[in-house]
Amino acid sequence: MPRRLYTCTPSRLNAWLDCPRRYRMTYLDRPAPPKGPPWAHNSVGASVHNALANWWKLPLEERTPEAAGTLLMRGWLTDGFRDGEQSARWRARAREMVERYVARVDPADEPVGVERTVATRTSRIAVSGRIDRLDERAGELVVVDYKTGRHVLTADDARGSLALALYAVAASRVLRKPCNRVELHHLPSGEVAVWEHTAESLGRHVARAEQIADEASAADDAYKAARVPRPRTGEAPVVDHAPWDELFPPRPSNLCAWCDFSRHCPEGREAAPRKDPWASLDAAEAEASQ
């Protein structure tokens, strides 16, 4: 029989790479374990992404920096902040961020896609993902990814990103145009990290994705085989003596402080107690004041 393709996104592949236990809780356990409180930095990032996506939907004559700021204010998400004062302070910062960014963008330079879903297959994986923005320049496609974190990114970040490489491969195959350039647009600093892939470097990323998928797929199959139906129809299956720590071992690190499932992982809590939902924003403000 033909080999079953592993269906995935870059996020799923990276989740396995980062921590198989978190991968299991995110993608396999049903019902999934309860997550911790939402993160304020995710609210900032989602609000900014939504505002920039909606800005391109406006008529050309309405695409102004002020309009981008208005969209940010209207769509502001409030989850995870310490209080209303912190939320309002970051809303003002995010508004300034998107207005400054849009002021450097040509509103008439229509992207090929905004929040565009692309997908492709190899002999081992079926991968899909959503690109923040897909440009066309000089007949070639360019993958643009917005970033709102406090750390300024470099060309090495763009070069090493599995997600950006897979987006480039998928976009090229879907739209039948070359796509080698990937860009990380860091809105807080205004910096753009760029990498020009080659066919060889994109091939290495695809091979890496397939290797990760092989490992995750084998663990998925073992997980499913260990679950047996309950005798009553409609009830959730039960797990029969599954060696979860062997199949899905934790990978404790400082990143455990930001894990949604830390309450269910004693190794992770020992490695790094979970941060407050607004801790990343506090750190960003402390760095800005120095």
Per-residue pLDDT tens digits for 182-194: 999 999 999 999 9
Asked if the peptide bond before residue 31 counts as cis, ω within 30 degrees of 0, the response is yes
CA distances from 153 to 146, 158, 187, 190, 222 (A): 11, 8, 11, 11, 38
End-to-end CA distance of the chain: 62
Look up residue 78 and give its DSSP letter.
Answer: -
198, 180 Cβ separation under 8 angstroms: yes
Structural domain including 130 reads 113-203
* In-domain check, residue 83: yes
**Total structural domains within the chain:** 2
Given 203, 237, 262, the domain boundary residue is 203
* Collapsed DSSP state (helix, strand, coil) of residue 251: coil
Given 82, 102, 122, the domain boundary residue is 102
Q: Other C-beta atoms within 10 Å of 117: how many?
A: 11
The Cα 30–Cα 12 span in angstroms is 16
Q: Are residues 136 and 192 in the same domain?
A: yes
Q: At a CB cut-off of 8 Å and minimum separation 6, what does 262 contact?
A: 36, 256, 268, 269, 273, 274
pLDDT digits (tens, 9 = 90+) for 89-133: 999 999 999 999 999 999 999 999 999 999 999 999 999 999 999
Position 236 confidence tier, pLDDT thresholds 50, 70, 90:
low
* In-domain check, residue 3: no
